[in-house]
Structure 1
Amino acid sequence: MTKLKLGPIADDKPVKVALELPATLHRDLTEYGRLLAEGGVPIEPAKLIVPMLERFIATDRGFAKARRAP
């Protein structure tokens, strides 16, 4: 099993987001969704964006420090 930063994706109410992704990023998200599914139904790239951004924000020490600053 591949060790990925994201864990299981919560099945929350979908939120519509309109943006353009570079083709290379879309391919990487598609592959990430395939690996995260561990042989099950691949997770579509759009469902990965929010958890990845949440994880990024939660682990960004510079952001946390700046947020605490007066």
Structure 2
Amino acid sequence: MAKLKLATIADDKPVKITVELPAPLHSDLVRYAEILGRETGQSSVDPARLIAPMLARFIATDRGFAKAKKEKL
């Protein structure tokens, strides 16, 4: 069993944006969604719904951003 950084995807009210992804990144996102679905027992996970939690996790673990945010740059 893979140890993924994301768990189940929360169902909250989204804000719609449009994002263009390079084809290899999109392929990885689709594959990640497939693996996450198997790991969490969800029948299917929409790859687009992974983008927000991935960005949130990235921002939450970016020490440089946290420091700059505290400094209110």
Range class of TM-score, shorter chain:
0.7 to 0.9
How far apart are the structure 2 equivalents of 1:41 and 1:14? 21
Q: Alignment length, in residue pairs?
A: 70
- Provide structure 2 residue ranges, at least 5 long, that are not aligned to the other structure: none
Q: TM-score, normalised by structure 1?
A: 0.86
How far apart are the structure 1 equivalents of 2:15 and 2:65? 25
Out of 62, 65, 72, the position equivalent to 1:63 is 65
SS in 1 for 2:66: helix
For residues 11-45 of structure 1, the C-alpha deviation after alignment (integer angstroms, 9 at most, x for no partner) is 22343221211111110000000111116423122
How far apart are the structure 2 equivalents of 1:15 and 1:67? 23
- Provide structure 1 residue ranges, at least 5 long, that are not aligned to the other structure: none
CA contact (8 A) 1:9 1:51 kept: yes
Q: TM-score, normalised by structure 2?
A: 0.83
Identity %: 61
